[in-house]
Chains A and B, each alone.
Chain A
Amino acid sequence: EVQLLESGGGLVQPGGSLRLSCAASGFTFSTYAMTWVRQTPGKGLEWVSGIIGSGGITYYADSVKGRFTVSRDNSKNTLYLQMDSLRAEDTALYYCAKIYSYAVNDAFDIWGQGTMVTVSS
C-alpha cells in the first residue's frame, strides 16, 4: 500500500526554524517527484514546493522562496522541508504528496495526512 507519513511539525517562535519529514512507502520513491502543500485551518490549499525524482531540480512558491528548502534522500525514501525565518503566516497544516510522474507538473496522486506547524510567540 502506498503511504506517506509526515512528521516534524510543532510550535515555533517567529524567526525560528523547523524541518518537516515525509516518509514514503509502497512505491519506488526515486521514480516520482514529490511536493509540499499547506492549508491554513479553515482556508484553501496553497502549493509550497516541489522536487523532481532525482532531487536535482526544485521549485518554490514566491511566498517561501529563500526561506524554505526542499530536499529528498532517495536511500531513505524520505522527503524533507527545511523551514527557516518562519512567520506567523506560515502557520498551517503541511501535506506532502506524491506526484504522478518524475516531473513536478503532474497530478498529486497520493497525499499524506499532514503535520501541523504553528508559528507564534
Chain B
Amino acid sequence: QSVLTQPPSASGTPGQRVTISCSGGSSNIGGNYVYWYQQLPGTAPKLLIYRNNQRPSGVPDRFSGSKSGTSASLAISGLRSEDEATYYCAAWDDSLWVFGGGTKLTVL
C-alpha cells in the first residue's frame, strides 16, 4: 500500500487531454513539493515535473503539474503514442521520500 494514492490505470486517444491524480496527506503533499516521474517500458524513470509545476529542459509543455492542498495532478495534453508509460508521483515526508503506486497510461 503506497503512501500516495494514484489510480492504477488511465487511458486516452491521441490528441486528448488526460489527467492523473495523486492524493496524500499533510505531512507529504500538504507540506512539500510534488514531483512526477515517467517510466517508459523497460527503461529507468525520468524526471517529468519538479517542485509541483516546473518542467526540466527537454520536457514538452504538453506536460503540466499542479497541486492543491494534499492532492496533486499531472495533465498531459495533445496525447501522443509515445506518452504510453507509467507515471509516478513523489513527495518528501518527514525525512523520507514516498511514492505513489504508479499510473499506467494507455494511448488507445
Contact = CB atoms under 8 A, between A and B. Distances in A.
Q: Please classify the interface of chain B as helix (H, G, I), strand (E, B), loop, or mixed, using the class held by over half of its residues.
A: strand
B96 A61 contact: yes
B35 A60 contact: no
Chain B CB within 10 Å, residue with most, of A47, A50, A60, A61: A47
Contacts of B99: 44-47
A5 to B, nearest CB: 12
Contacts of A95: 44-45
Contacts, number: 55
Interface stretch (B19-27, B46-54, B68-76): B46-54
A61 B101 CA distance: 16
A60 B101 contact: no
Interface residues of B, number: 23
Contacts of A108: 35, 37, 45, 47, 90
Interface residues of A, number: 23
A111 B88 contact: no
Interface of A: 35, 37, 44-47, 50, 59-62, 95, 100, 104-109, 111-114
Interface of B: 2, 32, 35, 37, 39, 44-47, 50-51, 56, 88, 90, 92, 95-102
6 contacts: A44-B88, A45-B88, A47-B99, A62-B96, A107-B50, A109-B47
